[in-house]
A and B are shown apart, each in its own frame.
Chain A
Amino acid sequence: MERKAIDLEEGWGYMVKGISKLERILEGLPEAPFSSEEYMMLYTVIYNMCTQKPPNDYSQQLYEKYREVFVEYIKSMVLPPLREKHHVFMLKELIQRWSNHKVMVRWLSRFFHYLDRYFVMRRSLPALSEVGYICFRDLVFMEVQAKVQKTMISLINKEREGEQIDRSLVKNVIDIFVAIGMGGMNHYEQGFELKMLDNTADYYKSKAANWIEAEECLKRERDRVSHYLHSSTEQKLVKKVQHELLVTHANQLLDKENSGCHALLRDDKVEDLSRMFKLYHKIPRGLEPISNIFKKVGLFGHITAEGVALVKHAEEAASNKVLIRKFIELHDKYMAYVNDCYMNHTMFHKSLKEAFEVFCNKTVAGCSSAELLATFCDNILKKGGSEKLSDEAIDETLDKVVKLLAYISDKDLFAEFYRKKLARRLLFDRSANEDHEKSILTKLKQQCGGQFTSKMEGMVVDLTLARDKQTGFEKYLLDNQHVNPGIDLTVTVLTTGFWPSYKSSDLKLPPEMVKCVEVFKDFYETTASHRKISWIYSLGTCNINGNFEPKTIELIVSTYQAAALLLFNTTDRLSYSEIMTQLNLTNEDLVRILHSLSCAKYKILKKEPNTKTISPNDTFEFNFKFSDRMRRIKIPLPVVDERKKVIEDVDKDRRYAIDAAVVRIMKSRKVLGHQQLVVECVEQLSRMFKPDIKAIKKRIEDLISRDYLERDKDNQNTFRYLA
């Protein structure tokens, strides 16, 4: 059926009626709602006008008119009140207008829907609803955006200052910013967020009072985002605030008199420290730029100050007895901080280490801490040491000692002192507990490597083997009664190299003892051929009977003392020089022995003249009258101070170690600059000790003179390896 074509004017006249009604509804004027018939009619008019044959297809014109409806409405109805209103009222009007606009777009796009289905599709034009929103954006939003932005920021700042604001209002405006982007965040970010963040920075620039407030601010900003800003803003906002409050003013914040690191550490405010750390920890890479501040006023500075004070105190008291214990306590305390407050962060472990390295390598009252540490171990491990602790406590303390060792650069010096003391414990049966001896060696091995403990372990093993050997020797004597010297003899066979070097003196043994030595030699050859035994009499102990007139007393003496006393079996009086010739000892040793027998507590020998010191013109006589209330006495022989020898030995070992390191490096590199060689050498040796640069230089020069290296002909600062 042929339908009569509707012309544009007629059709549009009909549409205008519907549109006016819609506008009246939007303005809140009395008007009945659209009935479905009305709606159907409006739709059908559009349909008809779009489906007529050209030239009566009015799709293009209708599409344009659709837009014009919005433009007209906005110009006449929306903009005037918006322009009139300000601040919050303007925002409210905007929200109202936006919500109206949404309704308008919804209805109008329904009336014109047929355009969407064919015309818009075919020509790839913006859909009807989009056209509606673009109108609002370009005509309304762009005009008021700057004003809106300013008002919003001032509201946020008001809230920051503690005022109550209408959060839902702000949130609704934010929603417009987001919606207007039609899927993109461009309008929100460029039109609002950017300015807001800049303003935030400005706002907080002058606000940094202390870190606790900063923490509070951060929390509030996070709340703010969750209440009315877009969630994508949270990261950016927090970052801005962190930067302004925590990073820019980190120096002042962390150094504050009552709330800074120093104060918290001083007052043991564990929880606050932990909170403060977490605050900084959350800043991405935040700990790095402020690590220097932490270093100065934080953990490092604090520990160093406490440690140095301990050292100073010990120095003033000229006593280093309790120093290691104090170090351990200090370490416990701050290790707990690092673990609890600083979430075990590597940066603070490093600070702790660096701080301890500062004062753990100071010399205290003439002692290096390497030596003090070895002495401390000795006191724990020896019988009747000053530290009386349970097994668990001992093990725990040993753990801590080993941890302290990590901070000491002269590990080789510690090892040498430790070995000396271990030797005394093992050889004189003064070790309290073999398990503890083994336990600390295991700990040392774990921390310093197998090379570090191999000799010490060898010593412990030697002692076990020596016990077996002794059992074997006793059995041998039982089986070979004819060789039994008639004196009980215990021999401890040690492996050269494991033990500290002792001078094997040429003491002339009394014949009784010579016989013992011969018997043992014969026995030893039956068990191990091709091994040479050298005797170290200075480490021997003898039990001898002193037949004094009042009573016989068993004397526990060193082999040296015994040898001297046995001389008096054949004669009553001997001069100093006679004793010296018969024993074949040095003056130094002889004076020490004779002093212990004639000038000390027990006067086994009478000295002529009766003075307190030994002189080469003295004569000695066996003191028949000597007596004591005990049946058995130990006559101590003072130990020669070993420190000098230990240090000398370590120095010598270091020379070898430096030589070896230099040769090793040069062998692989062939040609190398001086500075680099020094650096690599220090690096290689740092596990054992911190070599002195001058010492390295000296060794390099020595190696040049021994033709291991030469200077490059053209560059005197470069060395070549001579294969």
Chain B
Amino acid sequence: MRRSSNSSKKTAQSNSDLFRSASSKASSKESERIDSLFYSYANGSTRLIDPEGIETLCADIEVDHTDVRILMLAWKMRAEEQGYFTLDEWRRGMKELRADTVSKLKKALPDLEKEARRLSNFADFYSFAFKYCLTEEKQKSIDIESICQLLILVLGSTFPAQVNLFVEYLKSQNDYKVINMDQWLGFFRFCNEITFPTLSDYDAELAWPLILDNFVEWMKEKQK
């Protein structure tokens, strides 16, 4: 995971190099505006947009900071650390959104949401959402309480029935205190592949994460 994020950084670097070599007046103007927008939110000493800066930004674009679109914005920037945007991440995101002002950013949001929810992108966004929540060094899993919030936020509108029941299950069980990436991805696959709520095509013989086997058992018990 670490390796892959490094490499993505590298490509980002070379892209901007390319961009610079082919610079035109207009685009360098745009770059300047993007940078200055960044500094208007960044913390003076750390030169990062920190949680406080993000809250200000959210207020300016009139979106709640817990809104899924903020998570999508972070995905667009390929932000690494939760609650912080670096200058590189900001540039990457803003350029792709073609936004160099607050109002342009605000207008870009509906398209961003469409983009993230596009079938070809959603799986990537979904797994980004999990990684983005790993805040500690070597952290590999997320506690049940947070994972429930995240599920509702990310998947709640697409698979409401599945998400609601799974959240109910997660909160009622005692076997798992945390959820890891494999289980997180497994649930997404479950939502996409399994007929709900009959679960007729669910086969516990397959390599579904055990937590889903248990979830299915719990559901069948409940349906009785």
Contact = CB atoms under 8 A, between A and B. Distances in A.
A560 to B, nearest CB: 36
B17 interface: no
A697 B210 contact: yes
A694 B213 contact: yes
A142 B210 CA distance: 79
Interface in A633-687: 674-675
A717 B206 CA distance: 6
A701 B183 CA distance: 9
A674 B180 contact: no
Interface in B179-194: 180-183, 185-186, 189
A694 B210 contact: yes
B140 A705 contact: yes
Judged by DSSP, the binding face of A is helix
A701 to B, nearest CB: 6
Contacts of A701: 180, 182-183, 209-210
Nearest to B141: A705
Interface in A683-714: 694, 697-698, 700-701, 704-705, 711
A717 B204 CA distance: 11
Nearest to B209: A701
Q: Of residues B141, B181, B210, B213, which shows the largest number of chain A Cβ atoms within 10 Å of its Cβ?
A: B210
A719 interface: yes
B91 to A, nearest CB: 30
Contact of B213 (A697, A717, A719): A697
B62 interface: no
A711 B141 CA distance: 17
A571 interface: no
Indicate the member of B186, B205, B207, B210 with the most A CB atoms within 10 Å: B207
A716 interface: yes
A722 to B, nearest CB: 12
A705 B185 CA distance: 12
A675 B205 CA distance: 7
Contacts of A697: 207, 209-210, 213
A717 B207 contact: yes
Contacts of A674: 206-207
A704 B180 CA distance: 10
B162 to A, nearest CB: 17
Interface in B141-175: 141
Contacts of A716: 186, 189, 207
Contacts of A718: 207
Contacts of A698: 210
Interface in B34-48: none
Contacts of A694: 210, 213
A719 B186 CA distance: 14
Contacts of B206: 674-675, 717
Given A674-B207, A697-B213, A705 B181 contact: yes
A705 B180 contact: yes
A709 to B, nearest CB: 10
Contacts of A711: 182, 185, 207
Contacts of A700: 207
Size range of the chain A interface in the assembly: 10 to 19
B16 to A, nearest CB: 29
A658 to B, nearest CB: 13
- Best-surrounded residue of A674, A700, A701, A719 (most CB of chain B within 10 A): A701
Contacts of B185: 711
A701 B213 CA distance: 13
A717 B181 CA distance: 16
A694 B205 CA distance: 10
A53 B140 CA distance: 118
B209 to A, nearest CB: 6
Contacts of A675: 205-206
Interface string B194-210: 00000000000111011
Nearest to A696: B210
A678 to B, nearest CB: 8
A698 B213 CA distance: 11
A701 B206 CA distance: 13
Contacts of B207: 674, 697, 700, 711, 716-719
Nearest to A697: B210
B177 to A, nearest CB: 14
A278 B182 CA distance: 59
A457 B206 CA distance: 42
A704 B182 contact: yes
B139 to A, nearest CB: 11
A674 B185 CA distance: 17
Contacts of A705: 140-141, 180-182
B193 to A, nearest CB: 9
A719 B182 CA distance: 12
Interface string A605-638: 0000000000000000000000000000000000
A352 B182 CA distance: 44
Nearest to A719: B207
B206 to A, nearest CB: 5
A362 to B, nearest CB: 24
A707 to B, nearest CB: 9
Contacts of A717: 206-207
Which of A705, A711, A716 has most B Cβ within 10 Å? A716
A716 to B, nearest CB: 6
A718 B140 CA distance: 22
Interface in B91-127: none
A340 B80 CA distance: 76
Name, among B182, B185, B213, the residue most crowded by chain A CB atoms within 10 Å (CB to CB): B182
A539 to B, nearest CB: 36
Contacts of B183: 701
Interface string A475-503: 00000000000000000000000000000
Contacts of A719: 207
Contacts of B210: 694, 697-698, 701
B173 to A, nearest CB: 14
Interface of A: 674-675, 694, 697-698, 700-701, 704-705, 711, 716-719
- List the 9 closest pairs (A to B, CB-CB), nearest first: A674-B207, A717-B207, A697-B210, A705-B180, A704-B182, A717-B206, A698-B210, A705-B140, A701-B209
Given A674-B207, A717-B207, 18 more contacts: A674-B206, A675-B205, A675-B206, A694-B213, A697-B207, A697-B210, A697-B213, A698-B210, A701-B182, A701-B183, A701-B210, A705-B140, A705-B180, A705-B182, A711-B182, A716-B189, A716-B207, A718-B207
13 contacts: A674-B206, A674-B207, A675-B205, A697-B207, A697-B210, A698-B210, A701-B183, A701-B209, A705-B180, A705-B181, A711-B185, A716-B189, A719-B207
